[in-house]
Structures are given as C-alpha cells and as structure tokens.
Structure 1
Amino acid sequence: MKKNIAIIMGGYSSEVAISLKSGSVVYKHLDKTKFNSYCVHILKEGWFLVENEEHFPINKHDFSVEYKNEKLTFDCVFNAIHGAPGENGVILAYFDLLGIKHTSAPFYQMALTFNKRDTLSILRKYDIPTATSIYLNKGESIDVDFITNKVGLPCFVKPNNAGSSFGISKAHTKDDIIPAIEKAYKEDNEILIESFLDGKEVSVGVIEYNNVVKVLPITEIVSENDFFDYEAKYEGKSQEITPARLTEDEETKVREVAKKAYEVLNMSGFSRSEYIFVDGVPHFLEMNTVPGLTEESILPQQANEAGISLADLFENAIMSSLNSEA
C-alpha cells in the first residue's frame, strides 16, 4: 500500500518563495507509483493542502485534512521549508509530538545548526577552523572600533538565524558597519559579525544515503558579486563548478572536515555546508539543513554528479525516515 507523503513548503521567513519552488520540485520528481504525495503550504495565513489551486485546510490538532470527503493522514512529512518553522526545528518538534516521521534531522539538531553562533561554538571545540566572530543582540550598544579591531575590515555582518543570504552585508569601512547591522536586524534580533576570509569558496553536501553518511562531489563557488549573496545564489550572478577545481590535498581535507562536522553535530538527512580555503585549510562558514532542492540548486547538482537522480535522492530521504526507529 502506498504511503501518504506531505511535502511541506513555504514557511514564515523571507525564504518563502524559494521554499515553495523547492517543494514543487520534490512533488514533481517523487515517484507517484510508490507514494501518494501532496503539496502542503505552511504559511502565516494558514496551513493548506493545495491541489489544482484548491486549498484544503489542515487540522493542526493531528495534521490531518478533509480531502475528497475523507480524512487524510500522512505517514511521513518531507520537509522543504527553508528558514522558520522548518529549518529551525520548530515544526519538527510538533511532528514528533504527533508521532509523524519526517525527512529532517531531529528538531534539536535543526535548531542548533540554524543558530550560526551556537554551531560555530561547538565546531571550534572539535578543532574545526572558523572565522573570527562577534555576536550581538538587538538593543546592545555598538562599539565600531571594538568590532573592527576584533574582526578587521572588510567583515561580514549577518543575521544569526536566517538563510539564503537575506540580511547579509559586507562592510568595507567603519562607516559601513552601522547600516549593515541595521539591515541584519531586520531579519533577526541576533547578529553575527565575522572576519573576511580571502580564499576559494566551496559548498559541500553531506547526506545519509542508503544508511551511510555520504559526502557528495564538491561545488566551487565563483561569485560575480562582492560575495555569494542572494543575486549570486538565485539570479545567476555566480558560477557553480561541480566538481570543484581543488587539489587532491584540498579535496581530502574539506571532505574530511565536512563529514566530521556532520557527525559532530549528530546530523541526519540533508545538509550543505560552506567552506573557504585559507592557506590550504578549509574554514567552516555555516550549515544549511534544508538546502535548495530545485534542479538548479547546488545539492541536486552534486547528487547528479554522484549519479543520484532527484527521484532517488528524495525517495531515499523518505525511506530513511520511514525505516527509522524513532
């Protein structure tokens, strides 16, 4: 009997449009002969199963829906929500309470990795190199001289809990610091200010595939803009070269550190992390646990290079979840 799969998409953050696109691609490629798949929009204005532009309200008490005169329940949830409440773990805790399996890591791991500061603090304990950073809460006094003395110029100012490069600025001068902080605070009440790492940037996908932690072929990021911002990620203002142009030593090092980070953080499911090489050493930037899943997105590019189709990638995530003990 085919399992019922809810593909949740949308969310409550600035990434809603990107998430809707990712979720639609999952729906398109998921094998309909094996699964009954449904698009479920999780939006601030409501939760709905959406089919042919018709909206069926989700009952939040048990995540069911009245559909075609029957009560429809779900065996598994495919999480395609970038940002809140999918990537930060909030909605996953809800599914855990209901006993509904999902394709992401446990909610604590999702919340942890969504918080850039906390992720960096753990990985540093395991000798994984990172940029020098400062952490600020909204309302705290801002000492521009202290910031620039600590992290140098240029530096990056970014929301602590956000994705898709929303709210990120590269500050080249002291005068850029305050406007950059104000921009970041529009996305989050917590911000991170990091030193600029000058070197080759790569993106590394690490997933559980056939119950084994697998490091996918690496992608080199060459941005046409000042850094890998929203335009570079989603509007073609970058080259994404898979496999990356790395030496054998560089590739070995970044594959080892990416696998180590995944395991240290007790991850499962999808992940895509960014690294910058400084003097031949990969420095960790951040981890995305609900990466873009469109045909053009980096992780699907990497899976394709590894000989994994989107249908297989998505089916593997669902079967791993259905076969898990939790």
Structure 2
Amino acid sequence: MKKNIAIVAGGDQSEVVVSLKSAEGLKTFIDSSEYNLFIVILEKNNWRIRLENGEEYPLDRNDFSTEINGKKLTFDCVYNTIHGIPGEDGRLQGYLDMIRLPYTSSGVLASSVTFNKFFCNTYLKAFGIKSAESMMLRKGMSVRPEEVIERVGLPCFIKPNAGGSSFGVTKAVQSSDIAPAIEKAFQESDEIIIEAFIKGTEVTNGIYKTLEREVIMPVTEVVPKNEYFDFEAKYTPGMAEEITPARISDELTRKIQKLTSAIYSILGCKGIVRVDYIISDKTIYLLEVNTTPGMTLTSFIPQQIRAMEVPIADVFTEIIEDSIARNQAI
C-alpha cells in the first residue's frame, strides 16, 4: 500500500510564498508511484490540506489528520518545507515529536539553533569554524552608527537574525544607511544581526546523512548580478549565475565538503541541509546553515542532485524512508 506523505508548506513569515513554491517542486520530485502526495498548508491558525482540484479541508491538530468525504486521512511522514516559523525554528518539530509522526527535517534543537544565525555561528566558532565579525540587537536595544562601524566596519550587512530568503536584508555602505536598515530588519524579526562584509566567492553545499550513509553534494558557486545575493537575485531568472560544480580548486572543494559534514554532525542535523559559505583569500567563512532549504525547480539542492547524476526521486525516497525508520527505532 502506498504511504501518505504530507508536503508541509506555508508558515508565519514573508517566506510563505517561497515555501509554497518549494512544495510544488517537491510534488514533482517525490515518486508519486511510491507515495500519495498531499500539500498541507500551515498559516497561523489555519491548518489545512489542499487537494489537486483546489478544495481545502481543515487539519485536526490532535493527530495531524483530516476527513475527506467521510473518510479519515492520516499521514505516514511529513516532508517539511516551511521556510521560517514554525517549520524551521523547531516549533513544528516539537509538535510532530509529541504525536510521534515522522518528519524529514532536523529535530527541535538543531532547528532552533540554526534558525538563530547569530547563536549558531557563535556556537560553531567554538569548534574552529570561522564566520564574519557580527553583533546582535533585540527590539528595544539601540546602537549608534559609530558603534556599528567600530565593531564590524563598513560595508556591513544588516538582516533579521531569524529568517531567510533575504527578506529585510540591507547592505549598509555608509553611516547614514545603518539606522533605516536596522528599522527594516526589525520588521521581519525581533532580533537582528549586523555582520561584517567579506569580499569573496560565495558558495553553497548540500548534504544529508541517513542511518546507512552520508551523501555530500557538489559545491555550487553563486555569482549574483546585483550587489549581493538578495531576494531578486535568488528568485528572478537571469539575476544570478549558479555554477555547479563551483569554479574552485579540488582542494577547496574537499575542504568545504569536509566542513559541511562536520557542521551537520556537530549540530545533529537530519534530512537535507544546505550550508552557505564565502571564500576570501582561500579562507572559508560560514554564512549560515539552512535546515529546510528551498526546493523549487531552480533551487540549489535540486541543481546539486542533478549534478550528481542520480535520479532525484531516489534521493527523496531515501530521505522519507530514513525518517520513517528513525521514528520506528525510537
């Protein structure tokens, strides 16, 4: 009998539009001959399943089920593709753990740690992993532009500490940019991070580890046509060149892949994870760890899977079956 898979999208932040696109992408990637696929949308207090014909049915939060035409529908596994709250910060994972429903992404601790960019990068520095000089502000705290320049210098990036897809991000190049950039970032998150600009080559690397094996994907080089890899560059065709494998030395590639594997293990990640870096003078700096990376047709992970020359459906079957096996082993 085919298993029922809930592809869970939506969320409570600006990234909802990207999440819904990822859900549509996953529906084409996952083998429909092996699984019954359903898109489930979680938006604040509106949890619902959306069928192919556009009909929607509410989800019962007691067991993550729904009733369609008098028949109860339950799920064997959740493929989590929410970018942001509550699917990337550990909240959804805690709920799914409590009802013992398998899911494909990292657990509560790894999700909550990686969602807080400042905390994650500061924590990983204890393991010798380099990242840009940075400072964090919470709502209610203030900082003078002179303090920012003294701590991290100019130019610098000012962005939400919890979030993604480049919403609320500004590259401040002069003192007068700092205050409006802080205000903009606070519209997306109650915490913001101010981070030193590092000039170099931006790359990203996907990975997953199952109970049976480790798969480190090829490294992708990112060359944005804008000043940096902003929302437009990420999601507008032609606004960035994404090169897989990256045009870097074999030695640097191996170092990045080894670092990606180490970060995955240190944080205790699960499922497919993507780690972003910048290379400056052959030194590798961590940018951020993404535990629910984008899964649109043109996202980095599908690109890297295609570069491995393996059937993309096989990868997602492996992820789903590993998640179910881990749940059964508890």
Does 1:229 pair with 2:230?
yes
Q: Distance in 2 between matches of 1:219 and 1:148?
A: 32
Task: Return the offset for 1:41.
Answer: 1.1
Q: Residues 244 and 126 of structure 1: is their aligned pair in 2 closer, same or farther, counting only changes over 3 Å? A: same
Q: Distance in 2 between matches of 1:113 and 1:62?
A: 27
Contact 1:210 1:316 in 2 (8 A): no
Match of 2:5 in 1: 5
* 1:123-134 to 2 correspondences below 5 Å: 123-134=124-135
Decide whether the 8 Å contact of 1:250 with 1:281 is kept in 2. no
Cα offset for 1:307?
A: 1.9
Distance 1:259 1:178 in 2: 38
The residue that corresponds to 1:312 in the other structure is 314
- State the match for 1:163 in structure 2: 164
Query: 1:210-229 alignment to 2 at 5 Å?
Result: 211-229=212-230
Tell me how far apart the structure 1 counterparts of residues 311 and 157 of structure 2 sit (CA, whole Å).
35
Alignment of 1:279-294 (within 5 A): 279-294=281-296
What is the CA deviation profile of residues 189-247 of structure 1, one whole-angstrom value per residue up to 9, with x for unaligned ones? 10110111011110111112573222100000001111110011101311000000001
Unaligned runs of at least 5 residues, structure 2: none
The letter for the 2-side match of 1:293 is: M
Q: How do 1:1-326 residues align onto structure 2 when only pairs under 5 Å count?
A: 1-44=1-44, 46-51=46-51, 52-208=53-209, 211-236=212-237, 237-324=239-326, 325-326=329-330
Residues 253 and 281 of structure 1 are in contact (CA less than 8 Å); yes or no, is this contact kept in structure 2?
A: no
Name the CA distance, whole Å, in 2 between partners of 1:82 and 1:54.
24
* 2:218 alignment partner, SS class: coil
Q: Provide the rounded CA distance (Å) in 1 between the counterparts of 2:96 and 2:259.
A: 31
CA deviations over 1:230-280 (Å, ceiling 9, x no partner): 011101311000000001221122112111111111111111111111210
Normalising by structure 2, we get a TM-score of 0.96
Distance, in Å, in 2 between the alignment partners of 1:173 and 1:29 is 44
Listed one character per residue, the Cα deviations across residues 1-35 of structure 1 (whole Å, up to 9, x for unaligned) are 22111111111110111111111121233222211
CA RMSD of the aligned region, Å? 1.2
Identify unmatched segments of 5+ residues in structure 1: none
User: Does the aligned pair in 2 maintain the 1:89–1:108 contact within 8 Å?
Assistant: yes
What does the per-residue CA deviation read over 1:140-166, in whole Å, with 9 as the maximum and x for residues that have no partner? 121211110111100000100001011
Is the deviation greater in 123-132 or in 58-67? 58-67
Q: Which amino acid aligns with 1:323?
A: A
**One-letter amino acid of the structure 2 residue matched with residue 267 of structure 1:** C
The Cα of 1:39 is off from its aligned counterpart by 1.1
Q: In the superposition, relative to structure 1, how do residues 308 and 12 fare at CA in structure 2: closer, same or farther (>3 Å)?
A: farther
Distance in 2 separating the partners of 1:31 and 1:156: 40
The CA distance in 2 between the partners of 1:9 and 1:308, in whole Å, is 26
Aligned sequence identity (%)? 41
Amino acid of the structure 2 residue aligned with 1:187: E
- Counterpart CA distance in 1 for 2:300 and 2:270 is 18
Q: In 1, distance between residues paired with 2:11 and 2:175? A: 35
* Alpha-carbon separation, structure 1, partners of 2:10 and 2:73: 21
Shift, 1:183, TM fit: 0.6
**Superimposed CA distance per residue, residues 306-326 of structure 1 (whole angstroms, 9 cap, x where no aligned partner):** 123331222111111011123
